[in-house]
Chain A
């Protein structure tokens, strides 16, 4: 987790807000560092975390987690972390001739002609709903999806992805008072990609906090890797208000990310 980002978001592992739907979108750059931040943040806050890792293997996340001072295999053994290995599971589904094994059941939509993400939702629900003792042991549940755009590439329609996110929001945010963090790629070059734009705009309407990561418009820079716009949506959680917008630039380092206001990079000052 990045302490500077915690300051910006005004949160800390002791007092994380509940019932939030956080949307991370990136364009022209990779915003996965924010996903790693949220994974380590919520694990440090003691919440039960379910990660749908559809683009990278578990060893990748644990390697990054180790650099951030967290041991993901240990959290998995304790039962605090539930990780869906999308890459391995998809091979099991696609290369098997016989019936789909139980471990790969959530990804059964890969085989069906009209993909529906109901199985994936049932996996999320079963891994995050817990008995009374577990609720006492861990904090509120958190669902982290990395990422949703790959589902569009796998042939799932944007309507099905939106239905899945709706049900996750109902189950995790409303019923269990937990948080949902999801990553969507916004490829501006593919202007004809209506599905992706519909997904992004729809999720923006539903989110309480949007983090939009962009590469610099002027091109590659060694000291500034991009800029991030945070938008707290007015009207979220039922209260009236305007959107609050903050803009920062960032640089990804070996063991963290540093955030600074625009124009105040250490290379410039």
Chain B
């Protein structure tokens, strides 16, 4: 399902890539950029976290012309007065104006790197509103792909942003190497909210090649679902097979075993014998012995009262 989302056939308005400090999601983001550019779609990148050079590394020169980088990395807080994109400039209207400045008639894929940077500098409500306006579609923006570092924000903020996504891609590190032919970059869990209202989930192992094309190595989702098997017992190995001694019971032995009542089982006969009073059976006869006569007030028995 990840490949369909990258190719654009699924997962319309807003795609959020969620990563953490253990596993980086930027290479997957660049995979999205690469795929959009190969489809001849213009891509506008709002870069706040990495420089333009680093973003363009690995993407060949043919893609360079279709990639427009809005530089929010060099001077986001206007300390240097360089007049580039600053964090206060960020709003849906401003972004749309910036995109319209390019002459390209086609609809644009907008990539935001990263939402975490915006969330640390602008209130989450403003970010969510702007995302909603941008991803609603309309004239210029076909799709918004954003990167979010889930461990830098509170759970509520992350949840609110991810709730708005039509496709949520969570990247987690993979433990150990899975296959011999290619080292996976990580495991990706995709959640797709379709227009019909159905939500589908999948889990796959992916790797990003040097040219930023994304390859699915293994589909892990079928392994996770438990399949209820009513005939599981007969399919299990019989532990009494292949032994040098006999552990099985013949028919007569089995009957005798079932008929045997264990000594301390509370059966019907025991219950009735305890409940009914037996004549002369349960009485206690006590004749006090001379030494048993223990007087509390005169323990030595030497008082003459």
Contact = CB atoms under 8 A, between A and B. Distances in A.
Interface string A213-256: 00000000000000000000111011111110000000000000
Contacts of B184: 242
Given A159-B120, A201-B21, A238 B55 contact: yes
Contact of B79 (A159, A167, A240, A241): A167
A238 B152 contact: no
B22 A243 contact: yes
Interface string A108-133: 00000000001001000000000000
B34 to A, nearest CB: 11
A-B pairs with the 10 shortest C-beta distances?
A238-B57, A235-B24, A240-B27, A240-B208, A238-B54, A204-B21, A174-B51, A235-B27, A235-B26, A201-B151
A170 B48 CA distance: 11
A163 interface: yes
B121 A205 contact: no
A162 interface: yes
Given A159-B120, A170-B74, A206-B49, A237 B149 contact: no
Interface of A is mostly: helix
A75 interface: no
Q: How many B residues touch the partner, as a band?
A: 35 or more
Contacts of B54: 174, 237-238
A240 B121 contact: no
B79 A198 contact: no
6 contacts: A170-B75, A205-B21, A234-B24, A235-B24, A239-B57, A243-B24
A66 interface: no
B77 interface: yes
A202 B20 CA distance: 10
A234 B149 contact: no
B50 interface: yes
A235 B212 CA distance: 11
Given A201-B21, A234-B24, A235-B26, A121 B55 contact: no
A166 interface: yes
Nearest to A194: B154
Interface string A138-166: 00000000000000000000010011001
Interface string A157-199: 0010011001100100010000000000000000000000010
A238 B75 CA distance: 20
Among B21, B209, B212, the most chain A Cβ lie within 10 Å of the Cβ of B21
Contact of B121 (A159, A170, A206, A238): A159
Contacts of B57: 237-239
A10 to B, nearest CB: 20
Contacts of B23: 243
B210 interface: yes
B149 A240 contact: no
B53 interface: yes
B218 to A, nearest CB: 16
B185 interface: yes
A87 to B, nearest CB: 26
A240 B209 contact: yes
Interface of B is mostly: loop
Interface residues of A, number: 25
B13 interface: no
B51 A170 contact: yes
B21 A240 contact: no
Contacts of A163: 77
B73 interface: yes
Contacts of B55: 238
Interface in A33-70: none
Nearest to B51: A174
Interface in B179-215: 183-186, 208-210, 212
B22 A238 contact: no
B199 to A, nearest CB: 29
Interface string B23-36: 11011001000000
Contacts of B83: none
B24 A233 contact: yes
Nearest to B154: A194
A163 B77 CA distance: 8
Nearest to B54: A238
B11 interface: no
A118 B81 CA distance: 13
A117 to B, nearest CB: 10
B98 to A, nearest CB: 21
Contacts of A242: 183-186
Contacts of B56: 238
Given A166-B76, A238-B53, 18 more contacts: A121-B79, A163-B77, A167-B77, A174-B54, A201-B149, A201-B152, A202-B120, A205-B21, A233-B24, A234-B24, A238-B30, A238-B58, A239-B210, A240-B30, A240-B209, A242-B185, A243-B23, A243-B173
